[in-house]
Chain A
Amino acid sequence: MKCAVLFSGGKDSAFAAYLVKKIGYDISCLISVISENPESYMFHTPSITKVKKQSTVMNIPLLTQKTKGKKEEELKDLENAIYKAKKEFNIDSVVTGSIESAYQASRIQKICVSQKVECFNPLWQKDQFELLNDLIKYNFKIVIIGVFAYPLDRSWLGREINQKFIKDISTLYHEYKINPAGEGGEFETFVLNCPLFSNELKISDFKILGKKYSWKMEIELT
């Protein structure tokens, strides 16, 4: 199989890519849909320059597609990106990092049907604590770059996913129903290192924006 991984730069799509490779499939390209809408229904909204750096250290080509991020238009833009990946990289399957969102998973399934490609969701229904523990076990270095739900505040930005993180998020899961892997959009992550990277990406600078319980950290990488 020749796979394209829908890649946001965050932990779920990076772990999905890792599993695909571990099982023995070729990743022909990464597809990143760059949304101009920070409230996108479908897509994580990282800066393209950062995903490009990740694709470089993974030595996997990156195909990008801009979208205005309007509800149904962004699906057409994703379909267009998959169409381009078929033409340019001859892919026959698409891999996603969907865990729980039936909204996201079913829309991608429908696009794959119309593009006649297989759809793989290796994290589908995975227990979110199991996912966090797997990320640590397989040496993923991940930082929190956005928080969007009470009681997550500015102090969580830049934190690494480690055992202390799991302990703290577990408390919030029991007290406030915060999804431990942020599956409800409670937080966003960025992968600085994982077994697919040739070297670790380092944060050289950052800017923090937001208020109360909605904060983002814009990072610069070396």
Chain B
Amino acid sequence: MILLAQTISKNLHYLEFIKPIEDIFTMNNIEFESIHYNKIGDEEIKKADRIIISGTSLKDNEYLKNINKFKWIKKNNKPILGICSGMHIIGLIFNGKLKKQQEIGLTKIYFKKEFLGYKNELEVYELHNFFVESNKFNIYAESKKCIQAIKHKKRPVYGVLFHPEVRNKKLIINFLNV
């Protein structure tokens, strides 16, 4: 069972940031539960084999006021993938800092090391106002402007700043096969 933790604050964001990820699961016959972070408790975490934390819109920063609701990230050793705001959250939970950097649209990023099946140059879809820096993570990819892909030094916790559900759907499948 995959848990998709929704970081959106408005209903209308669901169709843009959550459903495309759910569709990838459905197309690949992957069993999942998709739940807003406010409703995630011990029971939901216990049932999950892997967890994906979604992104949200450029103007939606509600999740930043509720970082304490993501303490479960540190309390278990399950594979976790944070996408965009999800990456901000995993970085912040591990004492990282948010820095301002906006990128919108198709952007080239460069992998230093193989990351969830991707290496060298990749075109990705960006939609963010911030990136996160934390010394608990190794950096795997960067754009010309900022960090794009990270993995925790000791845990199976991954983060991507771009939106793989748009142009790099296989990254999500590869994470499920880690």
Task: Report which A residues bind B (CB closer than 8 A).
Answer: 1, 19-20, 23-25, 95, 102-103, 105-107, 109-110, 112-113, 118-127
Complex contacts, B23 vs chain A, CB 8 Å:
125, 127
Instruction: Give the total number of A-B pairs whose CB atoms are below 8 A apart.
Output: 63
Not counting A106-B105, A125-B16, a sample of 19 additional A-B residue pairs whose C-beta atoms are within 8 angstroms of each other reads A19-B12, A24-B11, A95-B12, A102-B125, A102-B167, A106-B106, A106-B127, A109-B105, A113-B58, A118-B57, A118-B60, A119-B57, A119-B59, A121-B16, A122-B12, A123-B15, A124-B16, A126-B19, A126-B20
Complex contacts, B166 vs chain A, CB 8 Å:
102, 125
Once bound together, how far apart are the Cα atoms of A127 and B23, in whole Å?
Answer: 8
Once bound together, how far apart are the Cα atoms of A127 and B57, in whole Å?
Answer: 20
Q: Looking across the interface, which residue of chain A has its beta carbon closest to that of B103?
A: A106
Q: Is there contact, CB below 8 Å, between A109 and B127?
A: yes
Q: Is there contact, CB below 8 Å, between B105 and A102?
A: yes
Q: Looking across the interface, which residue of chain A has its beta carbon closest to that of B26?
A: A127
Q: Is there contact, CB below 8 Å, between B57 and A122?
A: no
Complex contacts, A20 vs chain B, CB 8 Å:
12
Which chain B residues in 10-42 approach chain A with CB under 8 Å? 10-13, 15-16, 19-20, 23
List 7 A-B pairs, minimum CB-CB distance, nearest first.
A106-B105, A125-B20, A122-B15, A124-B16, A120-B12, A118-B59, A121-B16
Tell me the smallest distance from the CB of B170 to a CB of chain A, in Å. 15
B16, B59, B105, B125: residue with the most chain A Cβ atoms closer than 10 Å: B16
Once bound together, how far apart are the Cα atoms of A107 and B102, in whole Å?
Answer: 14
Q: Assuming A102-B125, A123-B15, A124-B15, is B20 touching A109 (CB within 8 A)?
A: no
Once bound together, how far apart are the Cα atoms of A120 and B8, in whole Å?
Answer: 12
Complex contacts, A109 vs chain B, CB 8 Å:
58, 104-105, 127
